[in-house]
Amino acid sequence: MTPLVQTFVSHFGEMGSRWGVNRTVGQIYALLFVTERPLHADDIGEKLGISRSNVSFGLKELQAWGLVRLTRLPGDRREYFSSLGDVWEIFRVVAAERRRREVAPTLSVLRESMLVKAGAPEDAFAQERMRQMYELVELANGWFDDMQRLSPESLVKLMKLGSKVQKLLSVKEKLSGGKSTGE
């Protein structure tokens, strides 16, 4: 690997642990992301200096996330791997998978907790806080659905609006007498 690629791969490995995957999985993904052609497991292990079993484990994890593609070359029995090509597709896949793994179970627990009859004043307070959290997470979940339906071009335009939207909302709030409409 070139020093440029090595720096990127090392950084991604370190960041992987903060994103919920182990260092090796982060490094494998980073290597596949910046490599022009698909790689087989032996190539990956050699370039990263990791064992074949670690490569296999990492590739299985990345396949479970839907972040790598498996291909075969004519006349070659080995499996070759590459990352998704489009960064917006990668973003959508990661966001959807995190939502499935993290947000959906949280919403389920909050829903179930709110259905329990409060037996003590502490439970009533806790349920009210859970209801507030549920509403926020559900609102964010709906917003995520809306964002998933936008084209990458529309998402870029929306993101570039940035603080302009905040200023517009501030003006609207001032015009309505300082009351937030919640919309």
Give mean pLDDT, residues 153-168: 85
| 181 residue type, one letter | T
Which of 31, 52, 83 is a domain's end point? 83
Q: Rounded mean pLDDT of the chain?
A: 90
Q: Does residue 123 sit within a domain?
A: yes
* Per-residue pLDDT at 169: 83
pLDDT of residue 183: 54
95-98 long-range contacts (CB < 8 A, ≥24 apart) are 95/144, 95/148, 96/148, 97/65, 97/66, 98/20
Q: What is the CATH number of the domain that holds 7?
A: 1.10.10.10
Q: Is residue 79 part of a domain?
A: yes
Same domain (yes/no): 70, 97? no
pLDDT at residue 180, as a whole number: 55
Q: What is the pLDDT of residue 179?
A: 61
The answer to whether 111 touches 84, Cβ cutoff 8 Å, is: no
pLDDT for the residue 71: 93
Q: Give 29: exposed, middle or buried? Use CB within 10 Å, 0-12, 13-18, 19+.
A: buried
Burial string for 43-72 (b: 16+ CB within 10 Å, else e) reads bbbebbebeeebbebbbebbeebebbeeee
Domain count, the chain: 2
| Model pTM score | 0.74
Across the range 120-130, mean pLDDT stands at 93
Question: Higher model confidence: residue 44 or residue 157?
Answer: 44
Q: Which domain holds residue 149?
A: 87-156
pLDDT at 92: 87
- 181 pLDDT tier (thresholds 50, 70, 90): low
Residues 62 and 78 in one domain: yes
> Pick from 49, 83, 117: which residue ends a domain?
83
Q: Are residues 64 and 17 in the same domain?
A: yes
The answer to whether residue 182 scores a pLDDT higher than 70 is no
Instruction: Answer whether residue 107 shows pLDDT above 60.
Output: yes
Q: Give 8-19 pLDDT, tens digit per residue.
A: 999 999 988 787
